Structure 1
Amino acid sequence: MKNREQIIEAAIGVISRYGVKRTTMSDVAAEANIVRQTLYNQYASKEDLLRAMIRHIGEQSVASIRTEAKDADSLAEKLDIFFLHLVVKPYEWLQSSPDAKDIIDGFNDAARDELAKSYELHRTELRKILAPYAAPIERAGLSLGAVTDMVQTAAKGAKGSARDKRHLVNLLGSLKTMVLVLAGEDPK
């Protein structure tokens, strides 16, 4: 029997090609090379599967940030890692799909709670990254929590407003420079 991760990976592939609305549970079952009933035994509905997908993608993203940030030497590198997994990779995935708007709308409709949980996991990781810089942040009259929230919100906003990947990278670069200056680090 296929495990949940294999089914989720199959669902990600199908939804990338067809979008959320046009993807059926039969499509996912075929992609996972299982019978439809096996899929329904794991996930009662497409919405359940979408929630599991978002949870899986969020957990993978946070795990990558944790692992890669451990080996990073500077705040700049850690921010690059955070932005890569929170913003750049999802942006690239959405841009590679012909139905990116459908994917976003489908995720938003079916799984707002999972998206919120995922963003909270990311916020916690960002707070850990910024924690060693709490003193300079507070000297600037800001709290660590406020800066964490602002940086994550701005990064997510950049993903939605970027004209293309180059523009996205430039927006994130400006955000990184602001955080480095605020943290008392050399932005160069």
Structure 2
Amino acid sequence: MARHDDTILTAALTCFSRYGYAKTTMTDIAREAKVARATVYNTYDSKPDILRAVVKHVTVTMQDKVVDAWKQVDTLDERIDAFFTAVPVAIYDMITTQPEMAELVDEMAATAPDEMIAARADWVDVLATMFRDADVADPQGVADFFYSSAINAKYGSDNRDQVLARLATLKSALLAMVAAQ
């Protein structure tokens, strides 16, 4: 990444979650990043280009956080908890505490579908390493199921406790399946 990329992407995410994607301007992003507007335009051609880069940036940042957390724990149980805390619970918390975040997630799917597909594939690969380390028979298939189930736990949930209960059920089922192998 160029020297301004992280600053611009962090600023863009802040602006998108504060004002919403549609209402955020390149000037807002430049102001938040404390760079000239020309710097933003020299780094990214358009707001959709920034959004696509934000998807990649957020994915890598969250994956790094999860992998770092895994280095601090030993068991599959603890690794699952670390993933839940850093990804589905963190996303749920952002969506429920930042009013424009739900719109941003929808906009990411509409504007950056290729990046969202790539992010999902990257997550499945990261999670497959966790399941490979646990000697799961089909680590890629289990990782795919696990990721989809964990990310979708928020849909139709009335509150955070319900999301946590769904994730606990997923974890229990997964650990039982691994133990039964």
TM-score in same-fold range (> 0.5)? yes
- In the TM superposition, structure 1's runs of 4+ consecutive aligned residues that sit over 2 Å from their partners are 143-146, 159-162
Deviation at 1:159, TM superposition (A): 2.5
2:66, 2:146 → 1: CA distance? Answer: 16
Name the residue aligned to 1:125. Answer: 126
Name the residue aligned to 1:79. Answer: 80
Deviation at 1:2, TM superposition (A): 6.4
Supply the RMSD in Å over aligned alpha carbons: 1.8
Structure 1: runs of 5 or more not aligned: none
Structure 2: runs of 5 or more not aligned: none
Q: Number of residues paired by the alignment?
A: 179
The SS at the match of 2:39 is helix
**TM-superposition CA deviations, 1:29-80 (whole Å, max 9, x none):** 1111222111100010001100111111100111111111122121110001
The SS at the match of 2:179 is coil
Name the residue aligned to 1:55. Answer: 56
The SS at the match of 1:161 is coil
Name the residue aligned to 1:30. Answer: 31
Amino acid of the structure 2 residue aligned with 1:166: D
Residue 182, structure 1, aligned to residue 177, structure 2: yes
Amino acid of the structure 2 residue aligned with 1:70: K
User: Matched residues, percent identical?
Assistant: 28
Name the residue aligned to 2:156. Answer: 161
**TM-superposition CA deviations, 1:145-178 (whole Å, max 9, x none):** 3222111111111123322211111111110011
Amino acid of the structure 1 residue aligned with 2:15: V
Residue 146, structure 1, aligned to residue 147, structure 2: no
**TM-superposition CA deviations, 1:64-104 (whole Å, max 9, x none):** 11111122121110001112222111221122211233212
**TM-superposition CA deviations, 1:87-134 (whole Å, max 9, x none):** 111221122211233212211111111111111111111111111333
